[in-house]
Structure formats: structure tokens, C-alpha cells
Amino acid sequence: MMHTGWVGMGLLLLLLLLGAAAEAALLLPGRPDRNDFAGMARWLVSGNSWGVLSTVSVHLQGMPFGNIASFSDGPPGNSTGTPYFYLTKLDPTAYDLSKNPRCSLSLSEEPLGTCGNKDAENPSCAKLTLSGQVEEIQTDKERGFAAEALFSKHPEMRSWPAHHNFRFYKFIIEDIFLIDWFGGPKPLTVSDYYWNNHISTFLLDGLAQ
């Protein structure tokens, strides 16, 4: 019986340690609970500064063509969930979009530094793909907001050469593919993604500071 008692105490200690480890994991700066799908998606969009924008390629005859793109969904403290871009048609991506706006934007949790030793393909290292259309912004008001969103997070963009004709673009989200845990893609509608504005802005304010 003595022996069983020691095993029991060992198990209890192990559970306490695991509990402490789990709590520590939850205290990582700003990372939402994995069951808060909208919060997780918004956190990935606000926290990342670049991703891969995949278009239907003109120069490769319709192949899916992914390219590195910097983006921002708002200035610090005003995360909107909508990714804005600053692109030039000298680059194939913006040229592709001018012919076919359908595209996707893919992000990983890896660059945020919160995946620890987990492999980037491990479902618990979150990954997000927004699918929809990217279009050039048409109004001065929204262009002004996009400039504020992008230049606050990407200050060097201000000085990018004028003769390259950079323009402001925005992502119109139609579908959201989120994996932040085992068991396949998580259910997340576009309206849920935008409805959680207050939660994500709160989370992101914490992250930006």
C-alpha cells in the first residue's frame, strides 16, 4: 500500500506540473484561447506583418503563384481584420490581380514566436488562409486609412520609389481556413471573424505594446 501511495503522490505532482505548464502556455502574450476561432484568426492577421499572397499567374499560364507580401490590418490599437497591401504592377502579383482578383493570403503562427518547438505543420501551430479577392482601393478616405495602417507597421514603405507606382489594395475576405488544433479546419464564418472586432482589438493592443 505504501508503494501505491508513492505512485499516487507522483501522479499528483505530475498533474500539478502539467497544470502549471498549461497555464504558462496560456499566458503567452496575447495568444487567444484555441477555441476562440475568430480571436485566433484576428490575432494571426494583426500580429503578422507579411504573408504569402497566391494568385492565378499570368506569366506562368494560370499556375497558382505565391509571393511574399507585406500587409497591415490597421494602425496599432485599431486592428480591423482587413489586410491592406501596398503593391506595384511591376511585380507579378499585382499584375495577376489586375487580370484576376481571386487569391488567398496565407499566414503561420511561426513568425510570432509562440509555436515553441512545434513543427510549422503541426496543427497546434496555428495557420490561416484567407481566400477572396484583392482589389485596388478607390476612395481617398480608405486610401488614407490604408496608408496609415501600412506606414505605421512598415515605415520604409513611405520612401519606396514613386516611379514604381505603388498602389493601395485591400483583401475582400470570402472564406477563412483556420487550423489551430487537431481535428481539421475550424468553423469560422466571415461575419464571426468581423463580429469579434472588440475582442481582437483588445488582444492586439496588448500585443502591439
- The residues binding its own copies (CB under 8 A) are 49-57, 60, 63-70, 86, 90, 92, 102-106, 108, 110-111, 118-122, 127, 129, 131, 154, 156-157, 175, 177, 184
Which residue number, 102 or 167, has a Cβ lying nearer to its own copies? 102
CB of 105 to its own copies, least distance (A): 7
Q: Which of 17, 155, 19, 37 is nearest to 86 (CA)?
A: 155
In the complex with its own copies, the residue whose CB is nearer, 85 or 145, is 85
Say if CB 204 and CB 46 are below 8 A apart: yes
CB 119 to its own copies: min, Å: 5
Q: How far is the CB of 127 from its own copies (least distance, A)?
A: 4
Q: What CA–CA distances, in Å, run from 1 to 5, 6, 7, 61?
A: 6, 9, 10, 74
* Choice between 42 and 153, CB closer to its own copies: 153
Of 208, 205, 197, 175, the residue nearest 39 (C-alpha): 197
Q: How many CB atoms lie within 10 A of CB 118?
A: 14
Least separation in angstroms between CB 2 and its own copies: 36
For residue 163, the minimal CB distance to its own copies (Å) is 13
Within 8 A by CB and 6+ apart from 161, the residues are none
> Is residue 32 a contact partner of residue 40, using CB atoms and an 8 Å limit?
yes
- Please say which residue, 65 or 168, places its beta carbon nearer to its own copies: 65
Nearer to its own copies, 50 or 199 (CB): 50
